[in-house]
Structure 1
Amino acid sequence: MNFEGDVISSLEQLRQFLLLVEKGGLGLQGVVGVGMATSNADGRHFVAVFGEAHKLLLGRWVTDEVFKNGQDMVKHGVKPTH
């Protein structure tokens, strides 16, 4: 899996990550979706950026709290603040 950066440990960090993905700020090509998932290898949670055919383009580990409380944010997207 392609995991970069530190563990996302707050909802604000998750929000910033999602905004970067939505705006194309990470340089990823062919993004079709974002979701939360759990690693089969060790049970850790992560936010995943998917390309076509559900290919994992990028993942970031998240804390249990972010996984539990950030699912709606991932599912419905975030609105940028002005």
Structure 2
Amino acid sequence: MINDNDVIDTLEGLESFLRAVENGGLGLENAAGVALATNNSDGRPFVAVLDDKHQLLLGRWVTQEVFDNGKDMVQKGVKKAH
């Protein structure tokens, strides 16, 4: 499920989204991973929350800049706040 009106357009926004997923703040059950991907039909980039069977639980569109520069954050996780 991806909402067309909900676009992450900054790295700070991506970090907040990833923290919410990690902390269970989005109420998702069985969330097992997060990935950056592109839509097959139009190439539009998004961040996907996947279950343990690699099925999409939740997605948010991201700008190309966030897609290009947020890959490490998605792969390695966000740094813990001190």
Q: Which of the five TM-score ranges fits, normalised by the shorter chain?
A: over 0.9
- Write the distance in 1 (CA, Å) between the matches of 2:26 and 2:80: 17
* Greater fraction strand: 2
2:40 is equivalent to residue 40 of structure 1: yes
For the aligned residue pairs, the C-alpha RMSD in angstroms reads: 1.0
Structure 1 residues 53-74: Cα deviation after superposition (integer angstroms, max 9, x where no partner)? 1000000000000000000000
TM-score (norm 1): 0.94
In the alignment, what sits opposite 1:29?
Answer: 29
In the alignment, what sits opposite 1:52?
Answer: 52
TM-score (norm 2): 0.94
In the alignment, what sits opposite 1:68?
Answer: 68
- Write the distance in 1 (CA, Å) between the matches of 2:60 and 2:80: 20
Structure 1 segments unaligned to the other structure (5+ residues): none
Report matched runs for 1:10-25 at 5 Å: 10-25=10-25
What amino acid is the match of 1:79? K
- Write the distance in 2 (CA, Å) between the matches of 1:78 and 1:52: 21
What amino acid is the match of 1:46? F
* Greater fraction helix: 1
Whether the 8 Å CA contact 1:19–1:80 is kept in 2: the answer is no
- Write the distance in 2 (CA, Å) between the matches of 1:50 and 1:6: 18
